[in-house]
Chain A
Amino acid sequence: MRMKEYQDDSSIHEIDGDSSDKEIRIATKKEERNLLEHKSRKPFLFILAGLCCLVVLIAVVIVGGNSKSDSGENTSGQDVTTNEENPEIRSFASSEAIQEGDLITTDNEEQERLNALAEESRVYCIISSAPYFQSIDGKGSLFISNPKESNYYTQVVIKTDDNKEMYVSPLLAPTEKIEYDYLTSKNFKQGSYHCFAYFNYYASEESSSYLGSMSAEINVEID
């Protein structure tokens, strides 16, 4: 409508071409005004057209979504009106995930996996059942070993029945052993002590890699 008005004004301008200067100036001003109006309306028209497109798009999405849920994807079990009486089988790009068989099966593989993990974590506890020290300051026969079959580090702590620490070994890597060593605590008198040798196991040389412990009941003799 506005475009038509502009065309009409333009034709007036042409008709007035041979008139006086005043008339020409008036016509020119009118044209400028029309041009300005046209320029200011142009973005508005684009915005309006964009909004219309957006409304149409939203409407399409809503209608499409409703028809999708009506066509059988409602799993609530309620009676819903469907646009499609016979939903089409949808084709998928890949059927790799499909397997044959029952969903719930007895799982021997899981049993074997857990057995293997337990076996991998096997740790060893080797020590003399009666370490003997000729004196509190002398070396004693401990015979502690971390054998080559072991995968872990071990540290041995010998404690008496009443939890007094008598000996702490260095951290032993697999294949390392201590045959004779000094007691790390000298606060014991001559005598026979009923003790527990605690083997603490680590996956690495860090305390945070602690795996677990085992203990051996031993009798420490100090002459």
Chain B
Amino acid sequence: MSKRKIFTVITLIISCLMSNTAYASKSVTTINGCINPTFINVSAPAKVIFSIDPNATKGDQFISPLIVIENHSNAPVKVKIEKGLENFTQSHGSKWKPLDVLPKEYRWDVLGTKESESYLALGMKAVPGNWQKLIREETLYVKEQNDRTESIVFGELNGNSSAQMVLVCNYGLSFSEKKECDYKIVWSFSLAD
């Protein structure tokens, strides 16, 4: 019993000494953090050319390049197209000026020359794969862009990564002459929420 009492007393003395030491060395350090705004650093092709070969086998008639969007920032970014016709539209200087329509408006494989040379359903979609978050999988058609009142977010890209977009097209197969057309896309980027 006496040993236990002695142990308790010693423990109490040590505790008091320790606490006195802590009070004695008290000081205040101010931590001041300075964080610079993140740079948005992205790249994408300015020119996308597609071709339609009505003589090729089905599936190989429409050829368009992969649109690789690269995020060189360290932070994740959103890839989108803002509202407004001017952000995804046929260029004023386009040599061929087909009417932009939706795919369901025509039976494309039965169109004759007159209709083939008059209508085109051009759209854009994200290729699933490298996206941190794929928000819109459906194709955005030029005609839809005319009517939109909000921006379309395709997805979010991780820092220092890239993802792909492709053009999608519905078209007739009867052309009496070579056609060339130009479309304009204004990509928009922002830091991910």
**Interface hits, A164-223 → B, CB 8 Å:** 196, 198, 201, 211-218
* B86 nearest CB neighbor, chain A only: A213
In Å, the complex CA distance between A128 and B60 comes to 42
Cross-interface CB contact of B64 among A103, A106, A114, A201, cutoff 8 Å: A114
Q: Which one of A115, A129, A213 has the greatest number of beta carbons of chain B within 10 Å?
A: A129
**Which stretch of B8-16, B41-49, B99-107 is in the interface?**
B41-49
**Interface hits, A122-146 → B, CB 8 Å:** 122-132, 141, 143
- Contact size range, B: 35 or more
Contact A125 B41 (CB under 8 A): yes
**Nearest-CB distance from A138 to chain B (Å)?**
17
B190 at interface, CB cutoff 8 A? yes
Given the interface pairs A114-B65, A125-B42, A152-B46, the reply to whether A104 lies near B55 with Cβ below 8 Å is yes
* A141 nearest CB neighbor, chain B only: B37
A118 at interface, CB cutoff 8 A? yes
Given the interface pairs A114-B51, A119-B45, A129-B40, the reply to whether A214 lies near B187 with Cβ below 8 Å is yes
Q: Provide the B45-75 mask, 1 if CB < 8 A to any CB of A, else 0.
A: 1111111010111001001111110001000
B110 at interface, CB cutoff 8 A? no
Given the interface pairs A107-B53, A129-B191, the reply to whether A214 lies near B63 with Cβ below 8 Å is no
* B51 nearest CB neighbor, chain A only: A110
Contact A214 B44 (CB under 8 A): yes
Residues of A within 8 A of B37 (CB): 128-132, 141
Contact B60 A106 (CB under 8 A): yes
A111 at interface, CB cutoff 8 A? yes
A60 at interface, CB cutoff 8 A? no
Contact B187 A106 (CB under 8 A): no
B23 at interface, CB cutoff 8 A? no
Residues of A within 8 A of B190 (CB): 129, 216-218
Contact B38 A129 (CB under 8 A): yes
Contact B188 A123 (CB under 8 A): no
Q: Which one of B46, B49, B50 has the greatest number of beta carbons of chain A within 10 Å?
A: B46
In Å, the complex CA distance between A72 and B65 comes to 46
A89 at interface, CB cutoff 8 A? no
* B57 nearest CB neighbor, chain A only: A104
In Å, the complex CA distance between A124 and B72 comes to 10
Contact A115 B187 (CB under 8 A): no
- Contact size range, A: 35 or more
**Interface hits, B106-134 → A, CB 8 Å:** none
Cross-interface CB contact of B189 among A104, A128, A216, cutoff 8 Å: A216
Given the interface pairs A114-B63, A118-B45, A215-B188, the reply to whether A106 lies near B82 with Cβ below 8 Å is no
B140 at interface, CB cutoff 8 A? no
Cross-interface CB contact of B66 among A115, A198, A214, A218, cutoff 8 Å: A115
B157 at interface, CB cutoff 8 A? no
A117 at interface, CB cutoff 8 A? yes
A121 at interface, CB cutoff 8 A? yes
Residues of B within 8 A of A114 (CB): 49-51, 63-65
* A121 nearest CB neighbor, chain B only: B47
Contact A125 B56 (CB under 8 A): no
Contact A212 B47 (CB under 8 A): yes
A-B contact pairs, 30 of them (CB 8 A): A104-B55, A104-B57, A105-B56, A106-B56, A107-B56, A110-B63, A114-B50, A114-B51, A114-B64, A115-B66, A117-B47, A118-B66, A119-B65, A121-B45, A122-B44, A124-B42, A125-B41, A125-B43, A125-B44, A125-B189, A129-B39, A130-B37, A131-B37, A141-B37, A211-B46, A212-B46, A212-B186, A214-B188, A215-B188, A216-B42
Given A117-B49, A121-B47, A130-B38, 11 further pairs, Cβ under 8 A = A105-B56, A114-B50, A118-B45, A118-B66, A119-B68, A141-B37, A212-B184, A214-B186, A215-B188, A216-B188, A218-B190
Query: Which 8 A-B pairs rank lowest in CB-CB distance, beginning with the nearest?
Result: A217-B190, A121-B47, A130-B37, A118-B45, A114-B65, A118-B65, A212-B46, A211-B46
